[in-house]
């Protein structure tokens, strides 16, 4: 596993219970999460370094739009993996807690 992915792995598991990766399926999902996050990070670096003068030409604009699209695809895939692993706040809510939260938010909105 490349170092960038390994760092994401370590950062992800350090706050989780010891049995978090007890199955091969969980480890596989986490590996995919690390891959997608690493690629999204690489896309972000390319976007940040993209020369603004290249946006004047159609070819540069197409390249920039492609980079944005690829980052969006990778970020979405990473979020899907995080949700499947129950790493997101929303995926960790208990059904009863989620219902209470939704009810309180609907009262606030009124």
Q: 12 vs 66, which has greater pLDDT?
A: 66
Please give the DSSP secondary-structure letter assigned to residue 52. Answer: G
Percentage of the chain lying above the pLDDT 90 cut:
59
Neighbours of 58 (CB within 10 A): 8
pLDDT digits (tens, 9 = 90+) for 52-105: 999 999 999 999 999 999 999 999 999 999 998 888 766 555 555 555 655 666
pTM: 0.75
Q: How confident is the model at residue 3 (pLDDT cuts 50, 70, 90)?
A: very high
Q: 6 vs 104, which has greater pLDDT?
A: 6
Query: Measured in whole angstroms, how far is the alpha carbon of residue 20 from the centre of its chain?
Result: 18
Mean pLDDT of the chain: 86
Domain spans, the chain? 3-109
Q: How confident is the model at residue 10 (pLDDT cuts 50, 70, 90)?
A: very high
In angstroms, the Cα distances linking 42 to 24, 67, 78, 80, 87 are 27, 10, 13, 19, 22
Asked if the model's pLDDT at residue 35 lies above 90, the reply is yes
């Amino acid at each position: 596993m490349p170092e960038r992915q390994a760092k994401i792995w370590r950062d992800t598991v350090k706050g989780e219970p010891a049995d978090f990766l007890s199955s091969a399926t969980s480890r596989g999902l986490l590996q995919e999460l690390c891959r997608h996050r690493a690629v999204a990070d690489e896309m972000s670096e390319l976007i940040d370094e993209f020369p603004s003068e290249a946006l004047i030409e159609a070819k540069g604009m197409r390249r920039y739009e492609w980079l944005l699209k690829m980052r969006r695809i990778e970020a979405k895939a990473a979020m899907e993996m995080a949700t499947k692993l129950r790493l997101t706040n929303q995926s960790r809510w208990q059904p009863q807690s989620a219902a209470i939260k939704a009810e309180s938010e609907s009262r606030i909105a009124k």
